[in-house]
Amino acid sequence: TKVRTATETGDVIVSFDRQPVTGGEHLRQVIAAHEPGDTVTLTIRRGDAQRDLQVDLTSMPVTLPPDVGAGPY
C-alpha cells in the first residue's frame, strides 16, 4: 500500500488515520495495515502549522531488479 498526497519536503507526519506516528518504521506498519482504496487522514506539521489531509491509498508498484528477465534464452 502506498500513500500519494500533496506533502512537501520538510513536512513532518504527525499521525496516520488518527494514530500518532512515532517514527519511520511505525509509519510503514500503520500504512501496511490498510488496503489500497482506503481513505485515511494524514496529519502533518508544515512549519508552525498543523493540517489534516484526506488521502487515498494506492497499490505500491512492484519494481523488478534490472537483470530479471534478461536471458539468456
For 30, which DSSP code? H
Please check whether residue 16 is in contact with residue 31, taking contact to mean a CB–CB distance below 8 angstroms.
yes
Q: What is the pLDDT along the chain (73 residues), one digit of tens a residue?
A: 555 557 788 889 999 999 999 998 898 899 889 998 999 999 999 999 999 999 888 876 666 556 544 445 4
Q: How far apart are alpha carbons 18 and 52 in whole angstroms?
A: 10
pLDDT over 90 percentage in the chain: 40
> What tens digit of pLDDT does each residue of 28-48 get?
899 889 998 999 999 999 999
CB 40 within 8 A of CB 55: yes
